[in-house]
Structure 1
Amino acid sequence: MSPHSADTAVERVAEALRAEILSGTVALGSPLREEAAAERFGVSRHTVRSAFQRLVAERLAVAEAYRGVRVVSFDPDEIVALQQLRAALEGEAVRIAGERHGTTWPDAALAPAVAVLERLEEIAEAAPGARPPAVDAGAGTSSGTDTGDGIDWLEVERLHADFHRAVVAASSSPRIVEAHDALGSELLLFLLHVRPHYTLEGLIAEHRELLGAVQLRGAEAMREHLAHSTELLLRS
């Protein structure tokens, strides 16, 4: 197998497992078995091992001595730590944006976040009143994509993450943007598990309000928003 083919095989396995974790099909804390994955995907165990390493690097999985690799457990301490990091990055980003733009950000700075909200509204209009499926942290869900209501909930979570990235990008601070982008899949996993607490319409309304609030109140508004989602997940 050529190096290019090997890389492609690794990414194919990693992408399939990543999608299952982010859809909730594979439960938090589930072991990832090298031999079973090699047989399932028709690849070598070395390829599977490399795919697992990518998931570990993305903080979707953890490797433990003598216990192998498992999907992250996302326990309360990890939730709090992730949200503290987000508050530091997103709070500082909106503070910087406020210094640059004042309390009314220009259309160019707002446009990416507004575009995300408009796409979410299109999805909501196609399936009014739809509620996201529950996510059982112990057993997983049968599907995290189209759940019969016409909505691809994984797309919703990606758009939710894109909204926050767009707000961070309004800071025009390349290092903060880079650090926030590095949260990547870990942020999507958080959003998967917070989604049962929202209707789609409620998610849109909350983030439209947030977009106005961060212009007026900066980091305080963002910290309040993130604290609310942390509380929802910790008490679930």
Structure 2
Amino acid sequence: MRLLVINPNTTATMTEKIGAAARRVAAPGTEILAVNPGRGPASIEGYYDEAISLAGLLEVIGSRSDYDAVIIACFDDTGLDAARCLTDKPVIGIGEAAFHMAAMLSNSFSVVTTLGRSVPAISHNLARYGLAARCARVRASEIPVLDLEDPLSDASARIGHEVARAILEDRAEAIVLGCAGMTDLARALSQAHGLPVLDGVVCAVALAEGMVRLGLATSRLGGYAPPRFDKSAPVPPGRGPAP
């Protein structure tokens, strides 16, 4: 099978890191196609960045069909609902995947993310997915996303500090890492702190593979029905703006 793993930002080094993480856990015979749009923000840190990344993200999905499932590798699950309207193949957001797996491995979990401005979007998603009660706290390490790509930054140590605080103060039994750029830290943090530390990229790969093997598809009824007409085409008569 082929999994299209999309980093919605334009930072190629992060895309490479995400692709490497996905390939490490993919089953034999699963091909990982790790890509990012050619236009959009270099990082996604809040609502505005999410909004301006959508066009590039949806272009990638709509322009190709060489995949069996799609993984959106942004922890805010950027464009998830719109992407599910573009294809009946499974589309999985790494935030949603990690939350659900953490809820099956622990009574309560904490999220450690990047900047404080990302906390509201993550909290809203937890409520929307029905998992807010299972999350003890969403913690911001106040690390800019692109610092995760800098080997000279202290990002790893600061994230580890927040994990330790989550165990002590939140009584968290598991940790969800709240950024795709943290994907390479999960295993070491789990070993260092003695609890499950979940990275949404690998969680999403496992779920996507399972859905494809089961022959599951996204519902075309209701909210995930395909667009009624091609939004990239000229506006049909009578649908343009009022004079």
Structure with the largest fraction of helix: 1
TM-score (norm 2): 0.22
TM-score (norm 1): 0.23
Higher RCO structure (Cα 8 Å, ≥6 apart): 1
Structure with the largest fraction of strand: 2
